[in-house]
Structure 1
């Protein structure tokens, strides 16, 4: 991965932002920017120093949430600069009613953060209709037991375990894939759907691809295709999933919804 230099965005003496990396993902073609941040070095003044607007809802949040939001929007600002001339440095990524990022016109994107790492994925709207990214630390055995029935049915879990994945990896991957799918589709459907709406139906382990299938009724309601390829990366203690693509019927970057 290529490390982004300080010339792109201002850096500050507080050392809140650590290493920043930028790369175009070979599988999906989207721009990925990852940045590390140090929670102990967070100060509210960093928003103005980094040129990021603090929304009112974030101003009322606890410092940890403020720090995560700042790191995510910092990664987004750096990622957007690679999409010029679609965007300029002064544009902000807003926040919606459901805490979803509001991207500039002509851009699709997604933000995720876990621990002290924030990651952003962006693409031109002419290239992708939907894009979602999610990163998760591998769930503990206790967490897996507590949420397994909510996140996936037995058939889904057995599908992944049949390929040699442990319970922890299987459930974390399904969880992360469904989160990335939600982030990818929500801007189009404006429907706050749950884990039960999508089901893991195929795992191509050699391609690092998990296929999710939408419930027939939900797909018909929103005139959506049913199957989505989720590209995943397995780290030693974490999983990252990117779900992106174009809708059928695309014409000049748009699509028909019936």
Structure 2
């Protein structure tokens, strides 16, 4: 996939897997695959039909978790096939001890799923040191009241709402951006940091970008840069965030194997 134009991929299973969309993400240059899936149509046999291995931990999970895993790994398999010609057995994405995806050598990637949609973003490690993607349904007013002080600061809410975003969209964007940052940095730091570790310090609505700034203590403790750019997309009922880049000047900082 060298062209920047998006295209629709063919369907493989018209009951469980719906529309599949593949593109080179305009803001980041990563390969992005989105697929719709129907939870009500899920059957365990679909793992074999779609060519996705089922780990033991997933086999012990509830059907909803199995369906989400299958859709996410199916999207990942399609995304990986765009990085280079690969054999079928080379596109399996395993699961780590902390439920983190295990990518093939030379690949950095991230998976997210919500409400019947799975998304995957991948890139070569030569191009990106870190990559995280997250998609969220826009929060209800009730959920906003419950999580506002957990996921954000007053300054963040004032910044985003002051630029014209509703409280629901602002909080969902903050949540999604911080989730994408966590997914991007976890392979390098192996630290389950919370929402308070990062703050949205800039928002550029026209460019659909924002800047997340780590606390000085956390950044210094893990030898990380403080600022990260996040590219976001807003749909009718959802928000998607992608955080990716290079650790410039820090060639020794690589993902922990």
Asked whether the two chains share a fold, i.e. TM above 0.5, the reply is yes
Deviation at 1:257, TM superposition (A): 3.7
Alignment of 1:142-181 (within 5 A): 142-181=142-181
The CA deviation string for residues 93-129 of structure 1, in whole angstroms up to 9 with x for no partner, is 0111111111000000000001001000000110000
Partner residue in 2 for 1:25: 25
The CA deviation string for residues 47-85 of structure 1, in whole angstroms up to 9 with x for no partner, is 111111111111111101100100000000000000114
1:124 aligned onto 2:120 = no
Partner residue in 2 for 1:38: 38
Secondary structure, counterpart of 1:90 in structure 2: helix
Partner residue in 2 for 1:3: 8
Partner residue in 1 for 2:3: none
Is there any run of 5+ residues in structure 1 with no aligned partner, and where? none
Alignment of 1:210-221 (within 5 A): 210-221=210-221
Deviation at 1:26, TM superposition (A): 1.3
Choose which of 238, 249, 252 in structure 2 pairs with 1:256.
252
Secondary structure, counterpart of 2:88 in structure 1: coil
CA distance in 2, matches of 1:246, 1:78: 24
CA distance in 2, matches of 1:217, 1:59: 40
TM (norm. structure 1) is 0.93
Alignment of 1:29-178 (within 5 A): 29-85=29-85, 87-91=86-90, 92-178=92-178
CA distance in 2, matches of 1:109, 1:207: 23
How many pairs were matched up? 248
Q: CA RMSD in A?
A: 1.3
Secondary structure, counterpart of 1:134 in structure 2: strand
TM (norm. structure 2) is 0.94
CA distance in 1, matches of 2:236, 2:45: 35
